[in-house]
């Protein structure tokens, strides 16, 4: 939106630049910690933005809007192809450190003043809690089928 407001031209390359950054971070995260891959990804994108500005956009200053539009489309197609040829087109998994079956610790403070604490409570389940009786799966609620 900022580029459109400044130049009056919608930049079609913005999405491709985000895709290229995501591919860069995902691929680098396979061989280094995620924080370092994200930091290097920012550096890669800053360099890429400078190159695009100097080689493509700066020479087109004061050109017709359609010329700038076509240039951003060209940059978008180039980045899509360059990113896939450089980083591959496979699906990448980024380990964010979250458990496959997230667990929580729950503390219930009852109106009577009693406190019950439960640990290793699995997420996406229905539980029945009774004061002083513990926490157990709710027999009255059937699990909802997962949507496709």
Cα atoms found within 13 Å of the Cα of residue 108, Cβ hemisphere only: 16
* Residues constituting the chain: 148
Burial of 71 (0-12, 13-18, 19+ CB in 10 A): buried
Greater model confidence, 10 or 147: 10
Tens of pLDDT, residues 51-96: 888 888 788 777 777 787 788 888 888 888 887 787 777 776 666 6
Kindly list the domain boundaries of the chain, sorted by start residue.
2-87, 103-137
Q: Is the pLDDT of residue 127 over 60?
A: yes
Q: Report the pLDDT value the prediction gives residue 40, as an integer from 0 to 100.
A: 93
Residues 6+ apart with CB under 8 A from 9: 3, 65, 68, 69, 72
């Amino acid at each position: 939106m900022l580029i459109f407001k400044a130049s009056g031209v919608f930049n079609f390359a913005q999405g491709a630049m985000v895709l290229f950054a995501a591919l860069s971070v995902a691929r680098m995260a396979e061989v280094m910690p995620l924080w370092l891959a994200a930091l290097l990804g920012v550096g890669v994108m800053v360099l890429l933005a400078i190159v695009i500005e100097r080689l493509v956009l700066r020479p087109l200053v004061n050109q017709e809007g359609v010329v700038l539009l076509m240039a951003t489309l060209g940059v978008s197609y180039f980045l899509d192809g360059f990113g896939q040829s450089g980083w591959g087109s496979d699906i990448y998994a980024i380990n964010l450190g979250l458990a496959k079956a997230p667990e929580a610790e729950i503390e219930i403070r009852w109106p009577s003043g009693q406190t019950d604490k439960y640990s290793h409570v699995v997420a996406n389940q229905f539980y029945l809690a009774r004061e002083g009786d513990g926490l157990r799966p709710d027999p009255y609620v059937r699990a909802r089928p997962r949507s496709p």
